Amino acid sequence: TWRLITNAKVDLEKCIQLTRARGNVEDAPGAVPLQVQGGSIEFDNVSFRYNEDREILKNISFRVPAGKKVALVGKTGSGKSTIARLLLRCWDVTSGSVRVDGQDVRDVTLDSLRDIAAVIPQDVCMFNDTIGYNIAYGAASLHGRSCTQTEIEEAARVAQIHDFIV
């Protein structure tokens, strides 16, 4: 329905804004591309505040091993989205460090860091077309260009749906 399409468009635009957000951070002098080896994520004694009035995160530490999944659950305003934004370096931590495969996110280029991220909305909407079309549409919206058939198939493999849809 039109409502679903409109909602999906809004979700997609929010995802694009999140992955392209520069906020108040820039590449550090001498920043290097992120070298992904497995994809482990570590928050080490991370604290963060948007302003002096309210600390959102205080001394948060956790590790997500490569290949594992984690769910962040909590009430509104508890810092779940902030954790995602700190991982993508939309903001810098007040103290502590965020690392991907042992590399501090402040030491790698923003583009290389954000290239590894995927944002999945809770409510999924697909167009009444092939799954390949839906993959191509989403990729074109994110990257501003059309996808090749090879790229569509690779995205399906990464999502572990290739064998299911072929």
123 pLDDT exceeds 70? no
Mean pLDDT of the chain: 82
**Residues 151, 146: Cα–Cα separation, whole Å:** 10
Confidence of residue 121 (pLDDT cuts 50, 70, 90): low
Residue 69 has φ and ψ, to the nearest 5°, of -115, 155
100 pLDDT exceeds 90? yes
Q: Where in the chain is the domain with CATH 3.40.50.300?
A: 23-114
**Residues 109, 25: Cα–Cα separation, whole Å:** 11
HSE, side-chain direction, 13 A CA sphere, residue 108: 23
Average pLDDT, integer, range 28-51? 93
Superfamily covering domain 23-114 = P-loop containing nucleotide triphosphate hydrolases (3.40.50.300)
118 pLDDT exceeds 80? no
Average pLDDT, integer, range 56-82? 89
More confident residue, 122 or 114: 114
**Residues 163, 57: Cα–Cα separation, whole Å:** 41
Confidence of residue 94 (pLDDT cuts 50, 70, 90): very high
Beta bridge partner(s), residue 60: 46
Average pLDDT, integer, range 93-108? 96
Residue 58 has φ and ψ, to the nearest 5°, of -135, 115
Cβ neighbours of residue 137 closer than 8 Å, sequence gap 6 or more: 127
26 pLDDT exceeds 60? yes
Predicted confidence at residue 58, as pLDDT, reads 94
